[in-house]
Structure 1
Amino acid sequence: MNINATLILQAIVFAILVWFTMKFVWPPIAKALDERAQKIADGLAAADKAKADLAAADKRVEAELASSRNETAARLADAERRARDIIEEAKARATEEGNKIIAAAKAEAEQQAIAAREALREQVAALAVKGAEQILRKEVNAGVHADLLNRLKTEL
């Protein structure tokens, strides 16, 4: 065979091979490559969307944390204010109770002082009677001289 014929025949076979490859082999390969490129693009888009969602979620979390911090600070301030109010109220009640106790003690002391003065007057009157008895060397009748003793008590 001739080199030219072989070359032409090989060119024809090559052309048939190229045609066959472009008609039957290349479209599924191109389709698979396009699908793969689309999957990669979809994956990248999903990753970008996930990043955006994550950033939005982070912002929401930060906002919630700031809100809860503010709420917690407000609650703590309220609790501290209530504690101060309770302490002040307890101090006021304790002061009031202390004043009542002091007033009761003063009243009781005054009553005891009055009772002690009365007892002292009685004793002084009895001593005066005994002194007068001894001076007179005779017994003085207390029933007869009750008016005199009452005047003596009031003078003392």
Structure 2
Amino acid sequence: MNINATLFLQAVVFAILVWFTMKFVWPPITKALDERAQKIADGLAAADKAKTELAAANQRVEKELANSRNETAVRLADAERRAQQIIEEAKVRATEEAGKIVAAARADAEQQVVRAREALREQVATLAVKGAEQILRKEVNPAVHADLLGRLKAEL
């Protein structure tokens, strides 16, 4: 065998191998590499999109938290204001009730004073009759002198 023929034959086999590789082996490998690159790019894009959405969601959450804090503060202030109003109303009602109780007690005291005066007048009239009876040493008939005794009561 001649070295030139061997070299030429090896070059032809190599060319066939290169052509076969370029025709049948290389396209699936490139396709797989391109698909893998596309998957990686899609994954990176999805990660960036998720990161952006997470940041937006965090901003919305912070906004909602701030709104709920403000709303809570407003409700607490309203509750405190309402509690003060209820306390003031209770004080006013208690004052009115105390005034009614004092007025009722005064009216009751007045009635008791009037009753005591009437009872005292009765006793004074009885004593006056007894005193007059003893002075005159004779018996005075209260039925006969009822008008006189009534006027005496009125004067006392």
TM-score, normalised to structure 1, is 0.90
Give matches, 1:92-103, under 5 Å: 92-103=92-103
Letter in 2 for 1:28: P
Match of 2:25 in 1: 25
Match of 1:73 in 2: 73
In the TM superposition, residue 83 of structure 1 has moved relative to its aligned partner by: 1.9
Higher mean alpha-carbon deviation, 110-119 vs 21-30, is at 21-30
Provide the C-alpha distance between the structure 1 equivalents of 2:3 and 2:138, rounded to a whole number of angstroms: 187
Provide the C-alpha distance between the structure 2 equivalents of 1:117 and 1:66, rounded to a whole number of angstroms: 75
In the TM superposition, residue 54 of structure 1 has moved relative to its aligned partner by: 1.1
TM-score, normalised to structure 2, is 0.90
Aligned length: 156
In the TM superposition, residue 93 of structure 1 has moved relative to its aligned partner by: 1.0
Provide the C-alpha distance between the structure 2 equivalents of 1:98 and 1:48, rounded to a whole number of angstroms: 74
Match of 2:46 in 1: 46
Provide the C-alpha distance between the structure 2 equivalents of 1:69 and 1:12, rounded to a whole number of angstroms: 82
Aligned sequence identity (%): 83
Match of 2:107 in 1: 107
Provide the alpha-carbon RMSD of the alignment. Answer: 1.7
SS of equivalent to 2:113? helix
Provide the C-alpha distance between the structure 2 equivalents of 1:93 and 1:5, rounded to a whole number of angstroms: 126
Provide the C-alpha distance between the structure 2 equivalents of 1:124 and 1:12, rounded to a whole number of angstroms: 161
In the TM superposition, residue 148 of structure 1 has moved relative to its aligned partner by: 4.1
In the TM superposition, residue 147 of structure 1 has moved relative to its aligned partner by: 4.7
Provide the C-alpha distance between the structure 2 equivalents of 1:140 and 1:14, rounded to a whole number of angstroms: 169
The CA deviation string for residues 64-113 of structure 1, in whole angstroms up to 9 with x for no partner, is 12111211221122122112212211221121011111101101111110
Letter in 2 for 1:105: A
Give matches, 1:83-94, under 5 Å: 83-94=83-94
The CA deviation string for residues 38-61 of structure 1, in whole angstroms up to 9 with x for no partner, is 111011101110111111111111
Letter in 2 for 1:43: G
The CA deviation string for residues 2-47 of structure 1, in whole angstroms up to 9 with x for no partner, is 2232122112211221122122211221111011101110111011
Provide the C-alpha distance between the structure 2 equivalents of 1:153 and 1:3, rounded to a whole number of angstroms: 170
Provide the C-alpha distance between the structure 1 equivalents of 2:39 and 2:122, rounded to a whole number of angstroms: 120
